[in-house]
Chain A
Amino acid sequence: MRYSLFSLARNALTGHRDWQPAWRDAEPKASYDIVVIGGGHGLATAYYLAEKYGLSNIAVLEKGYIGSGNIGRNTTIVRSNYLLPGNIPFYELSMKLWEGLEQDLNYNVMVSQRGVLNVFHSDAQRDAYARRGNAMRLHGVDAELLDREGVKKLYPFLNFDNARFPIQGGLLQPRGGTVRHDAVAWGYARAASDRGVDICQNCEVTGFRIENGQAVGVETNKGFIGAKKVAVSVAGNSSRVMGMAGLRLPIEAHVIQAMVTEGLKPIIPGVITFGAGHFYISQSDKGGLVFGGDLDGYNSYAQRGNLPVIEDVCEGGMALMPSIGRARVLRHWGGLLDMSMDGSPIIDKTPVGGIFLNCGWNYGGFKATPASGLCFAHLVATGEPHPVATAFRLDRFATGNLIDEKGQGAQPNLH
Chain B
Amino acid sequence: MRLPCPYCGSRDLSEFTYLGDAKLKRPNPDGENAAAEFFDYAYLRDNPAGPHKEFWYHAQGCRSWLTVERDTRTHEILSAVLSSGAKA
Contacts and interface: CB of A to CB of B under 8 A. Distances in A.
Interface of A: 237, 239-240, 243, 248-253, 297-302, 306, 308, 341, 397-398, 410, 412-413
A301 B49 contact: yes
Contacts of B20: 252, 299, 412-413
Which 4 A-B residue pairs are closest in the complex by CB-CB distance?
A239-B47, A250-B43, A308-B14, A301-B49
A308 B11 CA distance: 13
A interface, by DSSP: helix, strand, loop or mixed? mixed
A398 B39 contact: yes
B46 A240 contact: no
A300 B46 contact: no
B interface, by DSSP: helix, strand, loop or mixed? mixed
B47 A397 contact: no
Contact of A308 (B13, B39, B47): B13
Given A248-B45, A253-B49, A302 B72 contact: yes
Given A239-B45, A249-B45, A306-B75, A397 B52 contact: no
B53 to A, nearest CB: 11
Interface residues of B, number: 24
Interface of B: 1, 12-14, 18, 20-21, 36, 39-40, 42-49, 52, 54, 72-75
B43 A306 contact: no
Residue of B21, B43, B49 with most chain A CB atoms under a 10 A cut-off = B43
A248 B44 CA distance: 6
B1 A306 contact: yes
B47 A253 contact: yes
Contacts of B45: 239, 248-252
A249 B47 contact: yes
Contacts of A297: 18
A252 B52 CA distance: 12
B47 A299 contact: yes
A384 to B, nearest CB: 25
Contact of B47 (A252, A398, A413): A252
A410 B75 contact: no
B71 to A, nearest CB: 9
Nearest to B2: A306
B42 A302 contact: no
Given A299-B72, A302-B73, A306-B75, A341 B47 contact: no
Contacts of B47: 239-240, 249, 251-253, 299
A345 B12 CA distance: 33
Nearest to B74: A302
Contacts of A308: 12-14
Contacts of B54: 298-299
Contact of B75 (A253, A302, A341): A302
A307 B12 CA distance: 10
A323 B12 CA distance: 30
23 contacts: A239-B46, A240-B49, A248-B40, A248-B45, A249-B45, A249-B47, A250-B43, A250-B44, A250-B45, A252-B45, A253-B47, A253-B72, A298-B18, A300-B75, A301-B49, A302-B73, A302-B74, A306-B13, A308-B13, A308-B14, A397-B43, A398-B36, A413-B18
Contacts of A237: 49
Contacts of B40: 248
